[in-house]
Structure 1
């Protein structure tokens, strides 16, 4: 029988359970949404793929938590990669960007290596409060390995995280053992379960991740562990910028600075969102109104 409503294979988040092993998982596969993000800048291939992994990871981390607002991964450095930012909202909207030194960046991208390098996970919203955790990058060769260390340290819960990306797709896979529910602890009854799942996961190659249908991939890897696949959650490119947020950014600059910018730019300020390229224009009347009412949270934009 042909399914008239086939499950999409791109731009989806799948939660699943390996019932025999007592392991929960999340699989993210991005297609159009990732290509939309990658097309916003002419990134070197290695940096593009690293950004794709970060975007997939930001979606992965939303798979097993409840939150309102957004979850972001943000890397800052004085090295060749100055900024790497990826975000997934509670509505499944994705965005991301990278800033880099074109002359210093090479054929490979390494996050970490300088004392001031930092990778942070931020969850929540300005309205309801945010939580931020810092990911240790020391001796971690990849975003996945760094995040595994973060879960081990902060939650005392191990994780396997595998990420892959190219110019067409970005894919992420995360697995964690499930603490016992109702007194049942699968890990205690099957001491080899977590190691067995790790061994199976280690056989997964980049090409296989990027080319495989999500359900086919999971069943091929873990069919002996009894895979229960839940309904997919759709994902899409989406920016949280708005005129109100740009107004907040201008207020943060200050009344005097905004007036000077208007004088320098012939009476009009144009602000361009770095994520989606939406342009917002403000004339002198608009600018004066900014400093009458209350404050608005700022966003990432370029003032032109």
Structure 2
């Protein structure tokens, strides 16, 4: 059991899977978060027959998308999106302010057995934060000179916040997990202010953690094993779950943005009906000719938006 003099928590029972656990290493002046995905990850992973290397990378991206929401005030969603001209065409993972996760990848065969970000041709990775419907979005580009997703994200935080960060990510068939640590500039109390070696000590402790243990350990057990001498303070755990933000209104907006010619062509191809299947959750949306005419007429009305909102 955790030593309550060293580790405090506001929850008597901490969820083991599909949870984001924020924490503070008070003695060292370091904040962090642990994400452990179980059913939410398996829901995403089971929707395609992903090759092993891509399966692992998508799981890491899923864990990272939730991990990065741990210490920000989020209104909307945070997404990690990678596009390249290689066999790995697209990787996408998203976590909303309600803790709903979704993700997918698109690729062409043959896919390399080892996927390293620094070797993907014409690759671009972006982190997008905000609310699409309100038009409030911030997007930052991630330098892909590092081979791993964790390394690329660590560098992103150093460049964007000028603070050191340590990120560990891992995924297998059952779980996708992540651990993130950030040095705090002016917090942590007098002990942290006097402890010049605190960050190096925390990094050294974290380096003792391998992927197998990261995947096998519940968040509270993991933090106690690593940092039981660092006065770990746990915050209220945040539940996570698979969830998709698709809706009939969003699909209608997408069709409206295509214009009449493309909508008419889609109707003709399927016998006066359009079927749109969400790639994230497999929800099916049907629009007949009357539905299509209604949405196209709405697009042509004065003041109607030209693109999806």
CA distance in 1 between counterparts of 2:307 and 2:176 reads 30
Residue-by-residue CA offset, 1:16-41 (whole Å, 9 max, x unaligned): 01111110010000000000000110
Q: Runs (4+) of structure 1 moved beyond 3 Å?
A: 184-188, 294-299
| Contact residue 257 and residue 307 of structure 2 kept, 8 A | no
Structure-1 residue corresponding to 2:40: 33
User: Higher relative contact order at CA 8 Å, sep ≥6: structure 1 or structure 2?
Assistant: 2
> TM-score normalised to the size of structure 1?
0.92
Quote the RMSD (CA, aligned, Å): 1.8
Structure 1: state its 5+ residue gaps.
300-304
* Cα deviation, residue 258, structure 1: 0.3
CA distance in 2 between counterparts of 1:45 and 1:186 reads 45
> TM-score normalised to the size of structure 2?
0.91
CA 27–296 in structure 1, closer or farther in 2 if over 3 Å, else same: farther
| Contact residue 64 and residue 169 of structure 2 kept, 8 A | yes
Structure 2: state its 5+ residue gaps.
1-11, 299-303
Residue-by-residue CA offset, 1:265-293 (whole Å, 9 max, x unaligned): 11101000000000000000000111222
Structure-1 residue corresponding to 2:122: 116
| Contact residue 179 and residue 185 of structure 1 kept, 8 A | no
Are residues 1:75 and 2:104 paired? no
Instruction: Figure out how many residues of one structure are paired with residues of the other and give that number.
Output: 293
* Cα deviation, residue 55, structure 1: 0.4
* Cα deviation, residue 193, structure 1: 0.3
User: Which of these residues, 50, 61, 67, is aligned with residue 60 of structure 1?
Assistant: 67
CA distance in 1 between counterparts of 2:110 and 2:234 reads 44
CA distance in 2 between counterparts of 1:75 and 1:137 reads 10
What are the equivalent positions in structure 2 for 1:167-246 lying under 5 Å apart?
Answer: 167-181=173-187, 184=189, 187-246=192-251
CA 185–52 in structure 1, closer or farther in 2 if over 3 Å, else same: farther
CA 188–296 in structure 1, closer or farther in 2 if over 3 Å, else same: farther
